[in-house]
Amino acid sequence: MRLWQVLGTGVDHTEVDHILGRGIALANTPGQFSAVALAEHALLLILCLAKNLRESEANTRIGRMYQPVNDELPGQLLGIVGLGASGRELAARARALGMRIRAVDVASVADDELSRLGVERFDGLDGLDDLLAASDFVSLHLPLNAETQHLIDERRLRLMKPTAGLVNVARGRIVDEAALAAVLREQAIRGAGLDVFGQEPLRADNPLLQLDNVVATPHVAGVTRGTSQRRSRVCVENALRVLRAQEPLFVIRR
């Protein structure tokens, strides 16, 4: 075997050390290939929370009209945790809707790019607590690794405003789900829009599925025809490059 190709971004389900230790090239299809899909889905979940979709559906089914009172997005502060490819695509779309934007990331971002995206404040991860406390919506766009697992724990969840919503289209284990369920049950925050979970597929008794202030989708943010086509082209190109004794694209070295 000469190439182990990951048909996606995350390698948290891949035996990275074993593969690299055997001298096999390891490559993925990084965030740029699913960025639009993830950004659109994050925006969908933000809108579901702002427009109280689940309550509206329930009211419609029992004939309760003109309720609830919903919110508009212009002027709302969106905190983006991870300003990589999908975070930037979300920022561009949120800005078009009149939202204000703050972001944090471990990697620096050029000032001209921050200006283009309309990011009014950018910090390293040491600014995460301030971002959580100030934001009306928080959207997670980080990879899962030892540093980011349960990055959003109970202490950080309780920094958020009671009117704020949390969106996660990245990886489930970035959030402490037990703590999130407790905070949502208490209505200490407005709600959560979740496309990813710590254990997939979900068990029917997952506490998050029992809550009316959770909008849940089955890890489909990146499952679009466009994403699949872009990723497939890279996989084909990498197979051809290996056959031509060339280095694959998007190689992971550690």
Query: Catalytic residue among 150, 219, 230, 241, which?
Result: 219
219 is catalytic: yes
Query: Catalytic residue among 88, 102, 171, 231, which?
Result: 171
Please state, in angstroms and rounded to a whole number, the distance separating the CA atoms of residues 228 and 226. 5
Query: Catalytic residue among 116, 200, 203, 247, which?
Result: 200
Mark 43-56 as b/e (b = at least 16 C-beta within 10 Å).
Answer: bbbbbbbbebbbbe
- C-alpha pair distances (Å), 111 with each of 16, 38, 53, 117, 120: 34, 24, 37, 10, 11
171 is catalytic: yes
* Active site members: 171, 200, 219
